[in-house]
Amino acid sequence: MSTREPPLASPWIRRYAPAPEAPVRLVCLPHAGGSATFYSGLARRLAPDIDVLAVQYPGRLERRADPPMKDLAALAEALVTELTPWTGRTFALFGHSLGAMVAFETARRLEAMGRPPVALFVSGRGAPSRHRREFGPRLDDATLLQQMRRLGGTDPRVFADEDLMRLALPVMRADYQMVEDYHYVPGPPLGCPVTALNGLTDPKVSSPGVDAWRNHTTASFDSLTFPGGHFYLVDRHEEVTTALTERLSRLTESLRP
């Protein structure tokens, strides 16, 4: 594999702690309403051993003029195009919540085109084969706000700032609609290991949903549970960093000649 850096910058990719000599890249995909900055701390903790590429979806921060996407399959297709130049080096995918579903669909497509990830890390989400609609036909503002408060992860000051809420709600609505409308299409399981990471008291994740991830790979599957809720990884960042580092280190060692 070529280890050259892609020649052009992409609006989709943020590198908060570039590690061009790292043996492996970790592509990180945010949750609903989240942005690439959610992974800035993780990028700095993993460098220089792991080169983190944090994905910036359309519709947020410096991409706020770009319409948010509402179709998960289309998002995965777009990401394949954006990420292909970065797959000349061993890489893995990490996604939290919505990001876990996007990571899975992206991994399927990259593997089908002969550029498989070395691992898939899925956080805060049950297996796609067990996906069910949560909210019904219409996502109104009250439902979105209730969900945001229930899951945590949003600074309480945001709810009191009308301007911030006006910016946040359309993106949240598009992201949740993308999850609601997702339809799992059965296909060949992945050939890479899958690791599920979850918070012990996460209201969105069930044990059967987590266990079902093992059906989506022909390689190994393991599950890690941490104290906390849906955004456990904010408070448990040291343990999450250790888990990712250990697993990626073992995988890269096994790939060396």
CA distance 107 to 204: 23
Residue 202, burial from CB neighbour count under 10 angstroms (0-12, 13-18, 19+): buried
> Helix-strand-coil percent breakdown of the chain, rounded to 5?
45, 15, 40
Q: At what angle do helices 72-83 and 98-112 cross, to 10 degrees?
A: 60
Q: Which of the 8 DSSP states describes residue 68?
A: P
Residue with tokens 């921060």: 61
Which residues form the catalytic set?
97, 230
What is d(CA 36, CA 14) in angstroms, rounded to the nearest whole number? 7
Distance CA 252, CA 257 (A): 10
Dmax over CA atoms of the chain, in Å, equals: 57
CA distance 115 to 28: 17
